[in-house]
Amino acid sequence: MRAITIDKEYGNLSEMLQNLRITDRPLRELKDNEILVKMEGAPCNPSDIAFLRGMYQIKKDFPAVPGFEGSGIIIGCGKSLDQSALTGKRISCFIQDNDDGTWAEYFIAKADNCLLLRDDFPKNEAPVFFINPFTAYGLFQTALDKGGRTIVLNAAAGQVGGFIRQFAKEAGIKVINIVRRPQHVEKLKQEGETLVLNMRDKNFRQDALKMFNEYQPETGFDAVAGEHTSFLLEIMPRYAEIVVYGGLSGNPLSVDVLKLIFESKRISGFNLGDWIRQTGRQKLEEISDKLQQMFIDGILRTRIQKTITFDEIQQGLYQYLTKMSDGKVIIRAE
């Protein structure tokens, strides 16, 4: 089968792009609980970029096939699965192991990391159904559990941000949105957001302090990390929690311990793979039904800026990296 591969990690972005190759790979035998998928599409997410640059928790043997999610049609199953019931069904799949990823013609998925998609589920949303909608859903439960009235969201023009904003709207929870470009401030305001800050504005710190004092956000969802998180922690009210779920700045956290000790503020982490395991299969399927319905009804929508073929991988990923907020780039085998 044809697949995109990389021979090692490349810290440098342009070296990484130049070293993505189309390779012929053998398909291994299916294990009992595995599903063979003919892939229809897979996105490039920030976690894929982090993996390719050697900045991600999951490591693979090289040469490696990247891609942590995607969708396609089931064409084979391991012995413990019902081949006749599953063959021909469209699924969304996810992988977090040291195994070939989804940027390939065919993908072997563990049954537990697959979700059957309804026939009326929008086909263009299928490749991007597993990671971001469930991450946003899982993260947002933290805010609901806290019973708060305002949340903070950075990288707010991204996809996870957009989904969390939609959940917040439905729950009547206010959102303080933080972006890093003036055009994204405008875009979110056009979408009806009233609380939007640009972290690169010269007045950002004082504007944020004023807004936080007024709205007292109880939970922050942080995909940026680095110094930005320290600042958020500093200005959030007592008992607030920051849930870090991404490290887009590439920088480590350094926090004022006094804020943790004397103001009972908290920093925690979120990882989708762990959340899926903790949620359990039955509940995951219930959430999947709910989320699929929201996409079918047009309440949730993923921005997709481009669909590319394997031979466009370099230009396609470059476009994504320079315009992340414009939407996902979907990679297709043909």
Ligand X SMILES: NC(=O)c1ccc[n+]([C@@H]2O[C@H](COP(=O)([O-])OP(=O)(O)OC[C@H]3O[C@@H](n4cnc5c(N)ncnc54)[C@H](OP(=O)(O)O)[C@@H]3O)[C@@H](O)[C@H]2O)c1
Catalog residues that contact ligand X under the rule CB under 6 A.
45-47, 131-132, 135, 155, 157-161, 180-181, 223-224, 245-246, 248-249, 270-272, 324-325
Least distance from C-beta 166 to ligand X, angstroms?
Answer: 13
Least distance from C-beta 193 to ligand X, angstroms?
Answer: 14
Residue nearest to ligand X (CB): 246
Report the C-alpha gap between 156 and 57 in whole angstroms: 24
φ/ψ region of 16 (left if φ > 0, alpha if ψ in -120 to 50, else beta) reads alpha
Report the C-alpha gap between 44 and 17 in whole angstroms: 12
Closest to ligand X by CB, 70 or 161 = 161
Least distance from C-beta 136 to ligand X, angstroms?
Answer: 8
Q: Is the distance from CB of 257 to CB of 281 less than 8 angstroms?
A: no
What SS3 string covers 193-232? CCCEEECCCCCHHHHHHHHHHHHCCCEEEECCCCHHHHHH
Least distance from C-beta 292 to ligand X, angstroms?
Answer: 18
Q: Which residues contact residue 179 at a Cβ distance below 8 angstroms, ignoring those fewer than 6 apart?
A: 154, 155, 156, 157, 185, 188, 196, 197, 198, 199, 325
Least distance from C-beta 104 to ligand X, angstroms?
Answer: 21
Closest to ligand X by CB, 41 or 246 = 246
Closest to ligand X by CB, 81 or 235 = 235
Closest to ligand X by CB, 16 or 157 = 157
Closest to ligand X by CB, 34 or 222 = 222
Q: Determine how many CB atoms are found less than 10 A away from the CB of residue 32.
A: 10
Closest to ligand X by CB, 106 or 177 = 177
Report the C-alpha gap between 74 and 190 in whole angstroms: 41
Least distance from C-beta 135 to ligand X, angstroms?
Answer: 4
Q: Which residues contact residue 12 at a Cβ distance below 8 angstroms, ignoring those fewer than 6 apart?
A: none
